[in-house]
Structure 1
Amino acid sequence: MNPFIKKLKSANLLRVFSLTGISTLIKLVTSYVTVKVLATIIGPSGIAMMGQLQNFTTILTTLGAGGINNGVVKYVAEYQEEPHVLKSVLSNGFKITAYLSLFIGFIIILLSGYLSTLILLDSQYYYIFVLFGISLFFLSINNFFLSVLNGYKEFRMFIVVNIVTSLIGLIFTICLVSLFNIKGALISIVSYQAVVVFFTIIYIRKLGWFKKSFLWGTWNKEMIKKYAFYSSMAIVAAVTVPVSQLIIRRFLIDAYSITDAGYWEAINKISGLYLMVFTSTFSVYYLPRLSEIKDQLTLKSEIIKTYKIFSPLLMGSLILIFILKNIVISVLFSKDFYPVKDLFLWQLLGDFFKILSWILAFVMVAKSMSKIYIITEISFSVLQIVISYFLINSNGVLGATQAYCVNYFIYFVVMLVIFKNILFKK
């Protein structure tokens, strides 16, 4: 039997990859329908506005949870056999999430008019931010519960909840966009995830940890300090990437047009759809697995195994998408988006280096390497903005994808240097 096939069959990583396949397939289908409806009804300029709002909600959703979700996954996986410590992990995590989401939601409501002008360039959309401020508590609590499930490796339940989330998002978006056009699309972004928490509670209500004694204990300074490492990493990641996208999108709008910004947003949507298959497995299996590993030899083995499985799958996916790029555009979007075909080469190359980099970046998250993680996240977000500024001025929207590729190639090289003692030491 081919060694690669044999390796695939025996790998826990592939088993989880297959388990998440159902959820990812449904996400792909629902995302496809959503993008298709939006592209047909609101066009490139509407897609650009949605990108602005999605970047903003990504930042505030992470802030609302205190940036501790990856920490919850790690510590639940690490201490699930120690009930006393686990209670501190869950209760402190739950209280941090609840208090911060309520506080930040209140601030969003107070600044709704200003935020509407800043993000959507028009104060008339203030009600979008009021709705988001109200919804933030519910979606933050839902993300906390999902992180606990992930830490426990409750893969099947985790997948079911994600499927429900995707279906609700699809129904919300189609109904609201059909009724209210661009306004409905914006409302769906900030509200549908808040509804899902009630479905999540139905599924987890009988689990041993879902009780007051686990979720509402006393504050623990040591646990708060541990969460602080993850909070700093998550907040930096949540702020740097969306903020850099906001800035690059404004470069495109100011230098060219909101339609060109819509083309760039479209190619990012395409990347997000197919990379979902890989990133879902990273979150569900790879992070908890890395958190469990105690010695460098096993860690190296897990990283190498992940590269051996994912690299050919990723390369094959990218080649197929490039060959079928015209079909992808016509299926996902509309004829208004055909100029996007010129953006595929550099975007796909950037995606390749991005995933190869993330396999190592997840090690920094799992091992609480907060200082180096924060430095690299900030440095490469700034670098992408700088490269984008010059390449957009010289090459237009194509320059944004070229900058993306160059940035992630350099990032991958730096990741190899950081982990050289683990990867290349005999």
Structure 2
Amino acid sequence: MLTRIKKIIATDLVKVTSLNAVATLVRMLTGFISVKVVAVLIGPAGVALLGQLTNFTTILLNISTGGIGPGMTRYVAQYSESPKRYAVFLSAGLRIILTLSIISGIVLLVAGRFFSIQILKDAGYAFVFRILGGTLILYALNTYLVAIINGFREFRKYALANMAGSVTGLLFSVVLAYNFGLTGALIGAVTYQSVVFLVTLSMVTRSSWFSRRAFGLPFSRQAGTRLGHYAIMTLVSAITVPASQLLVRSYINHSTGSMDAAGLWEGMNRISAMYLMVITTSLSVYYLPKLARLKTRAEVKTEIFQIYKLVLPFLLILSAGIYLFRGLIIEWLFDTSFADMRSLFLFQLIGDFFKIASWILAYQLIARAMTRTFIFTEIFFNGSFVLLSMLFVPMYGPLGATIGYAVNFFLYLITMVLIFRKTLFAHAS
């Protein structure tokens, strides 16, 4: 038993998880404080509007980066021992991001009023979108640098960058929401990542691989094309996921006639994001670079089942604890106006379990650059989530959206098993 425990502790995933433990704890604590303060200050309806803006910002960020983050991580990891080869991708990636973020920023500056009406249903918040447009380039560059750090497997710096983002996000959201209410919370949501860029840049310039020449090579069409395969996948996911949430949140509001009901569902989403953070962060840091190095189906199968053995039991225990203490969690994170959220936990937690189980398989779509399959499944299952929610919400209110969420990820898991059945049942070579 001791030998087995030592082997588990020695695995790369556990090492990465341990290294990220402090960063994850910081993110969870800052998220806890931020959600609590913002929820009390702006209420369920304000939380719903903040969720709308956050989803829109996610879409814009990925458009402004061209969605090349996972591609940068993948190719930097693959060519980390060859400065000449990874420099080609660093330079190509930088030019793509500068071009797209400048164009996206200009669009936001010009059309801020339009987006304010479409997303927040109020022209009075146009200035928030213009602030986002003016700072979007820094936001995009921070995402680009973090992807590179991940590719070089500099886990300590990756953790520090995440902690910097968490602390800055807390300060911006709490201070601005306290002083300016909903308007301040919205401004904080679109500005804090831009400040984090300065912290990330200072860490990157001290890395052994950093060189200005590595970012100054002529644009390589070949590198751009290879990054493009990942860009397409990332953009599809980055647009369809928040877009589906936007649609579901709007439908809950329309169906129930209450933005507060949409706010309860958004609060449940935030709880999921907070507790799944410890798993999703470790997988994103460890899993994609690792899969990029594996050559055979048998190796991939071994890695998948190793992760399942480590992650799923932990997730079950964590989910059970959250369900049992859901009343206290609502009291700690929110206030009495969110009490009806208790009914949303069961199916949300079931959906979260199926989500992680399916994602462990679905990462192969990115690692293998299975572009067509990835695009189809992302569009299909985000669309089915919206349709399932539209089916159940009229019957059960916001609870219906969590039922749709659970059913959708169960179907997604079955699909991933079918797609990778040859890998899952591969024989050792």
CA distance in 2, matches of 1:75, 1:206: 21
Contact 1:34 1:173 in 2 (8 A): yes
Cα deviation, 1:2-51, whole Å, max 9, x if unaligned, reads 68634422311111111111000000000000000011111100000000
Contact 2:240 2:379 in 1 (8 A): yes
Contact 2:38 2:177 in 1 (8 A): yes
Contact 2:304 2:361 in 1 (8 A): yes
181-190 vs 9-18, which deviates more?
9-18
Partner of 1:154: 154
CA distance in 1, matches of 2:164, 2:242: 26
CA distance in 2, matches of 1:311, 1:302: 14
Partner of 1:14: 14
Partner of 2:144: 144
Offset at residue 168 of structure 1 (A): 1.1
Structure 2 counterparts to residues 404-419 of structure 1, below 5 A: 404-419=405-420
Which amino acid counterpart does residue 398 of structure 2 have in structure 1? V
CA distance in 2, matches of 1:35, 1:219: 43
Contact 2:298 2:426 in 1 (8 A): no
CA distance in 2, matches of 1:92, 1:337: 47
CA distance in 2, matches of 1:298, 1:3: 22
Which amino acid counterpart does residue 333 of structure 2 have in structure 1? L
CA distance in 2, matches of 1:252, 1:147: 35
Offset at residue 83 of structure 1 (A): 1.8
Structure 2 counterparts to residues 4-403 of structure 1, below 5 A: 5-256=5-256, 257-403=258-404
Contact 1:52 1:119 in 2 (8 A): yes
Count the aligned residue pairs: 426
CA distance in 2, matches of 1:310, 1:84: 37
CA distance in 1, matches of 2:207, 2:253: 49
Identical counterparts, % of pairs:
38
Which amino acid counterpart does residue 51 of structure 1 have in structure 2? G
CA distance in 2, matches of 1:155, 1:71: 18
CA distance in 1, matches of 2:230, 2:19: 27
CA distance in 2, matches of 1:340, 1:323: 14
Which amino acid counterpart does residue 218 of structure 2 have in structure 1? T
CA distance in 2, matches of 1:163, 1:244: 28
Cα deviation, 1:274-298, whole Å, max 9, x if unaligned, reads 0000000011111111111122221
CA distance in 2, matches of 1:32, 1:24: 12
Offset at residue 327 of structure 1 (A): 0.6
Which amino acid counterpart does residue 250 of structure 2 have in structure 1? R
Contact 1:392 1:400 in 2 (8 A): yes
162-171 vs 338-347, which deviates more?
162-171
Contact 2:297 2:426 in 1 (8 A): no
Cα deviation, 1:234-291, whole Å, max 9, x if unaligned, reads 0000011111111111111111110000000010010000000000001111111111
Contact 1:131 1:191 in 2 (8 A): yes
CA distance in 1, matches of 2:239, 2:26: 28
CA distance in 2, matches of 1:210, 1:96: 19
374-383 vs 286-295, which deviates more?
286-295
Calculate the aligned-residue CA RMSD, in Å. Answer: 1.1
CA distance in 2, matches of 1:143, 1:208: 20
CA distance in 1, matches of 2:159, 2:267: 27
Which stretches of structure 1, 4 residues or more, deviate above 2 A after TM superposition? 2-8, 206-212
CA distance in 1, matches of 2:186, 2:211: 35
Offset at residue 425 of structure 1 (A): 2.6
Unaligned runs of 5+ in 2: none
CA distance in 2, matches of 1:11, 1:405: 31
Contact 1:95 1:216 in 2 (8 A): no
Cα deviation, 1:320-342, whole Å, max 9, x if unaligned, reads 10011001100110011010000
User: SS where residue 14 of structure 2 aligns?
Assistant: helix
CA distance in 2, matches of 1:29, 1:188: 18
163-172 vs 410-419, which deviates more?
163-172
Contact 2:112 2:126 in 1 (8 A): yes
Cα deviation, 1:300-345, whole Å, max 9, x if unaligned, reads 1111111111010011100110011001100110011010000000
407-416 vs 289-298, which deviates more?
289-298
Contact 1:19 1:156 in 2 (8 A): yes
Q: 1:312 to 1:3 in 2, by over 3 A?
A: farther
User: SS where residue 134 of structure 1 aligns?
Assistant: helix
CA distance in 1, matches of 2:206, 2:4: 41
CA distance in 2, matches of 1:331, 1:124: 32
Contact 2:301 2:426 in 1 (8 A): no
351-360 vs 193-202, which deviates more?
193-202
Unaligned runs of 5+ in 1: none
CA distance in 1, matches of 2:57, 2:4: 41
Q: 1:387 to 1:217 in 2, by over 3 A?
A: same
Which amino acid counterpart does residue 233 of structure 2 have in structure 1? M
CA distance in 2, matches of 1:53, 1:36: 18
Give the TM-score normalised by the residue count of structure 2: 0.98
Q: 1:386 to 1:261 in 2, by over 3 A?
A: same
Partner of 1:424: 425
CA distance in 2, matches of 1:67, 1:220: 17
Contact 2:26 2:166 in 1 (8 A): yes
